[in-house]
Amino acid sequence: MSDTYQAIANSSMGKALFGAINLPIPVILERWQPGQASFIKGRVLVGAANGSTGIDTVLATLKGAPEAQVAVLANTGNATELQKKAGKLGVSADNYTANREDDAKFKGLVFDATGIQNPDELKALWEFFHPVIRKLDKCARVVVIGRTPEKQTGAARVAQRALEGFTRSVGKEIKKGATAQLVYVDEGAEAQLASPLHFFLSPKSAYVSGQVVRATEAGFKAAKFDWDKPLAGKKALVTGGSRGIGAAIAEVLARDGATVTVLDIPPMADDLNQVAGQIGGDTLELDITADDAPATIAAKAKEIGGYDVVVHNAGVTRDKMLGNMPEKFWDMVLNINIASQLRINEKLLADGGMGKGGRIISISSIAGIAGNLGQTNYGTSKAAVIGMIDAYKDEYAEKGITINAVAPGFIETQMTAAIPFTIREAGRRMNAMNQGGQPVDVAETIAFFASPASQGLTGNVVRVCGQMLLGA
Ligand code: NAD
């Protein structure tokens, strides 16, 4: 769908006019393009609080990103130590001395705060970010790494929890399409930082900001994979894949190497065949709420040797204020958006349709986090998706399967095009990017969780909402 306001605001005349009357100018976000490297291109400044343990994985990840020039902030206490670490890992890292007057620009700022033990030591954040935060390039990336607070005690837990407030506030300040994220990592699981660093330091996370991801020990090592085709040899199922976000997910998973089964209801057969044809996938014409749907999906899984990735994307809205809501609206939304998913997961796992290394990813919504007027049925179903992630993460972890949710905010699709104009405009602008996201933004986030590199990420809910004001 097109965003006319954004197009006019970015024209040369529009820029001058909108700027003069202080209207927001939504930046044209830099998204990944075919042929492009997956990392952001430009200078990345790294830093770490004393005693931090994530920095080795940060440096090792950046070593694999020749398009990122690494620099270390020279006027922090442990700069020499960081330089030495970088040298040992074979990363060439310049020294950068912060200077208010210079015109250095940074495409990325990465700070490892895992060593912070109490609120006093949070000062390390100010020391690192204060001199450089105004030097961010357009669509830059900020990543803070912390230690999982729930696994800490006392002052360390307090201080680590504080990183959320810091990162989310930074996300709201930095503008110009820049994003800020926080990754909490368990002690000993630092290698699991590689996947979130790859995603958050890439143009693929263009519309994701203010998010918190938890990384934990994976339990087993993923087989070798290629970062450029991480899903090669994998089989994926995408429900509701004939259009909108589902079609984008199918395309991105196929781009990453997966063979995709695209599922949708029989009336969508033409669109379904078109999507499958474009990506060399196959189709399953099925209503996921049908009594035999779990068995049909499990049989299909058996036929192809099991699914590695299942994306529960099919979803509907049937909006009405609760007092006016017919019973059938309630039943339909709850059945499609959550109950069917539980039945499908149960049958797939019971029948061996998904095994070790499996990925289940479900689409929640900002309405399931913040609630929304006229959407008691939808909000309930999408909060239930978050409940599903929480309820099954431990049981599935024992089987080597991860389960995560992606919660879109305002995404430009047929679903949102149908919203009345004023409500649509409000939804579009009420976020730190002043614009709606694209289906591909949701799809890239799904692909991030689907990657073999994300074995240590489970039980997460990541919003793809440009840091929307609702539910932040
Ligand atoms: P869409 O209506 O364009 O696509 C949904 C697809 O699901 C359709 O192809 C539909 O036929 C299919 N589907 C519906 N019921 C089905 C059933 N019983 N069995 C099989 N397939 C079924 O919607 P979209 O905007 O692409 O949304 C995709 C997902 O993202 C949904 O879960 C939606 O709730 C969620 N979401 C969307 C937005 C947004 O801004 N568009 C925001 C938050 C969440």
Buried b (16+ CB within 10 A) or exposed e, 243-282: bbbbbbbbbbbbbbbbbbbbbbbeebeebbeebbeebebb
Instruction: Please give the distance of CA 204 from its chain centroid, rounded to a whole number.
Output: 9
pLDDT of residue 422: 86
State the Cα–Cα distance between residues 166 and 154, nearest whole angstrom. Answer: 19
**Atom nearest to 247 CA in ligand 1:** 26
Residue type for position 297: I
Q: Is the CB of 238 under 6 A from ligand 1?
A: no
Pick the catalytic residue from 207, 378, 392, 396: 378
- The pLDDT, as a whole number, for residue 416 is 85
- Rounded to whole angstroms, the Cα distance separating 471 from 135 reads 29
Q: How confident is the model at residue 424 (pLDDT cuts 50, 70, 90)?
A: confident
Whether the CB of 287 sits within 6 Å of ligand 1? yes
**Residue 369 banded pLDDT, cuts 50, 70, 90:** very high
Compute the distance between CA of residue 186 and CA of residue 57 in angstroms, rounded to an integer: 13
Ligand 1 center from residue 221 Cα (angstroms):
34
328-341 pLDDT, tens digit per residue, is 999 999 999 999 99
pLDDT in tens, 136-164: 999 999 999 999 999 999 999 999 999 99
- 199-203 mean pLDDT: 97
Cα four-point dihedral sign 420, 426, 430, 435: positive
297 has pLDDT over 70: yes
- Identify the pLDDT of residue 472: 56
State if residue 240 touches ligand 1 by the CB under 6 angstroms criterion. yes
The pTM of the whole model exceeds 0.90: yes
Tokens representing 172 are: 């709201």
Pocket perturbation via mutation, ligand 1, pick of 311, 328, 413 by most ligand atoms within 8 A of CB: 413
Residue 188 has pLDDT above 80, yes or no: yes
The CB of 416 under 6 Å from ligand 1? The reply is yes
Active site residue 378: yes
State whether the beta carbon of 283 lies less than 6 angstroms from ligand 1. Answer: no
Minimum-distance ligand 1 atom for the alpha carbon of 408 = 43
Contacts of residue 38, defined as CB under 8 A and 6 or more positions apart, other chains included, come to 32, 198, 202, 203, 204, 227, 228
- pLDDT tens-digit map of 404-423: 999 999 999 988 888 888 88
4 sits in which H/E element: helix 4-9
User: What torsion do the CA atoms of 461, 462, 467, 472 make, to the nearest 10 degrees?
Assistant: 10
Is the pLDDT assigned to residue 226 strictly greater than 60? yes
Q: Pick from 237, 251, 264 the residue to mutate for probing ligand 1's pocket: most ligand atoms within 8 Å of its CB.
A: 264
**Å from CA of 203 to ligand 1 middle:** 25
CA angle 291–361–241, rounded 5-degree value: 65
Asked whether 363 lines ligand 1 (CB < 6 A), one says yes
Separation between Cα atoms, residue 94 and residue 361, nearest integer Å: 40
- 245 Cβ closer than 6 Å to some ligand 1 atom: yes
348 C-alpha to ligand 1 centroid (Å): 22
pLDDT digit string (tens) for 56-92?
Answer: 999 999 998 888 888 888 777 788 888 898 988 888 8
Confidence at residue 46, expressed as pLDDT on a 0 to 100 scale: 95
Mean pLDDT of the chain: 93
